[in-house]
Amino acid sequence: MNFRIENISVDSTSPFETAQFWAEVLGWQIAEDGDDDEIALQPVPGSPEDGVLPDILFLRVPETKTVKNRLHLDLRPTDQAAEVARLETLGATRVDIGQGGDVTWVVMADPEGNEFCILRALTDAERAAR
């Protein structure tokens, strides 16, 4: 194939504020060439994600989110509990989408209500097998 995923686009009523939240979550940066209606978030130059992962583009829309996402991010931390606590201080909330209590991940929502998951940390054996 001769293409790659350039952006993952997210509708937002407040693109800059939503991009700021995700920049803090991921340790990424907001692109300087964006406008008020399209804010791009990109990996920091020289980071392991730079040139590998697609940018995240937050697009202004007039309507608020009303239903469960059809696409969401799964984030794998080294310390799940610490990251969940950190994200809550940034404005994320835990949400119940019917996942039950016996799962190993935590479902959260960003300040606009977009769901994402914080997965459990990999074991040493799982990391070594990657």
- Is the same domain home to 48 and 73? no
- Is the same domain home to 45 and 104? no
β pairing state of 38-42 and 55-60:
antiparallel
Residue-wise pLDDT tens digits, 41-81: 999 999 999 999 999 999 999 999 999 898 999 999 999 99
- Is the same domain home to 26 and 60? yes
Domain count, the chain: 2
Instruction: For residue 47, give its domain range.
Output: 7-64
Q: Residue 92, SS3? A: coil
- Is the same domain home to 26 and 87? no
Element (H, E) at 87: helix 80-90
Write the CATH number for 96.
3.10.180.10
Label residue 1 by pLDDT band (50, 70, 90): confident
Contact 15, 59 (CB under 8 A): yes
Domain for residue 2, yes or no?
A: no
Mean pLDDT of the chain: 94
Say how far apart CA 24 and CA 63 lie, in whole Å: 25
